[in-house]
Amino acid sequence: MPIEFSKPLTAHVTSIPGVVIYSLPVHGDNRGWFKENWQREKMMALGLPDFRPVQNNVSFNEKAGTTRGIHAEPWDKFISVATGRIFGAWVDLREGPSFGAVFTAEIDPSQAIYIPRGVGNAFQTLEDNTAYTYLVNDHWSADAQEQYTFLNLADETAAIAWPIPLAQAELSGKDKAHPRMAEVRPMQDKKTLVVGADGQLGNALRKLYDGDSSVEFAGRGDFDLTSADSFGNRNWKNYAAIINAAAYTAVDHAETSDGRAASWDINVTAVARLARTAVEHNLTLVHISSDYVFDGVRDLHHEMEPFSPLGVYGQTKAAGDAVVSVVPRHYIVRTSWVIGQGNNFVRTMASLAERNIQPSVVNDQIGRLSFADDIAAVIRHLLDSGADYGTYNFSNDGDPQSWADIAADVFELKGKPRSAVTGVSTEEYFKDKDAAPRPVHSVLALAKIKATGFVPPSSNERLAGFVAAEAGQGTEVP
């Protein structure tokens, strides 16, 4: 069958999620033909993932009818034919709803196909002297081979219609011995690692991903971000994403000598290690930012506003954001006034209300609450939806409020009069106290996250539910 010359480069989706077949432009004349077998820029423009290939392999097959597979390897592959023609068969052997899906096609040098990790690959040569090429994004190793998943070429469930019956084809003994579908162990997805998993956000993520074996949680005792050894003792090839839920958040203590060093160590140096790991292993890095990267002069903060931190904590968060921004696959989720499990402002106000204590609360800092459960939900949304990488503001929605307004809401929800809360200025509240400077305006613009299809829940509704569900515990009033 002659090669069709000068086809445009086009992508065609298949019946297996993530498997895409490409028509390649082949230019030929009386001397032979030439093609761009792999052209990163053009193929990415068509939607091919930037899977960063590192090794190219060629399988030469002397006779028509040579049949190889079905092998699912723990890496992605871009497959094409250098010479000859093949009948290709691909079976989804990944854990999930598409397990067992089959796609077949005849491939000549004018076509190529992208096969994601865990999809079984097999082919049968239709011409003598056929060369089958693989461009892969991991190096072969004996350890990696232990992660392979196999399916028998003759499996009745897959029911592949081989052009040359297998009884007449050339097969290896190993391929003949592979298991049937009912005995196949599906290849598990790469994992997401949550570091700093014992804090407010970490606990919210634990609750959100409860029962999901593809998400792994590591508290400080499991993964010390301040130690380089933690990064060297893990096989990053088994991961797709890291969620950094760790941060140094002692805003006032960060202004001290010890606190300054600790804040830079956790919020910058450790983040740089995470960023390097993400770049080296092509991982998605999710990082949590703060309204403290701004000075609060503007009434509304957009994602692209230049950094203008007032204190050490804000300076380290801004530096961490700058580091993460160079990771090709990153999400920076910028939040404000976080409320979650453990000690927090709302718990404090609820406790004071229960004890009939009438507090003075700052009334000239304006912002919105961000409930940890909703921050966790927006992280999952970004990862699952494939939203464009970059920085996204997130808080709960509703009218901006002062801390005193929120305190009065809590008192009212506890059946106490709003007048029990007295508003005071930041200057008056922190008079004669060692305190870090705070941004006066912390309201974050939410249009960008809404454009991805995520609707931030109302702060008032979340506050009412939180107060109803949580017992009061004491913490410092801002």
DSSP of 165-181: -GGGSB--HHHHTPPPG
Residue type present at position 257 = S
- CA–CA gap between residue 285 and residue 290 (Å, rounded): 16
* Measured CA distances, 467 to 297, 342, 343 (Å): 31, 13, 13
Pairing state between β 284-290 and 338-339 = unpaired
- Which one of 71, 253, 281, 381 is the catalytic residue? 71
For residues 14, 18, 19 and 22, what is the CA-based torsion angle, rounded to 10 degrees?
90
- 330 in catalytic set: no
Q: What is the largest CA-CA distance in the chain?
A: 94
Listed in sequence order, the residues at least 6 apart from 408 whose beta carbon sits closer than 8 Å to its beta carbon are: 418, 420, 421
DSSP state of 133: E
With H, G, I as helix, E, B as strand and everything else as coil, classify residue 304. Answer: coil
- 71 in catalytic set: yes
- Which one of 134, 209, 292, 331 is the catalytic residue? 134
DSSP state of 335: E
Listed in sequence order, the residues at least 6 apart from 436 whose beta carbon sits closer than 8 Å to its beta carbon are: 251, 252, 254, 255, 310, 311, 312, 313
Residue type present at position 366 = I
Point out the residues that are catalytic. 71, 134
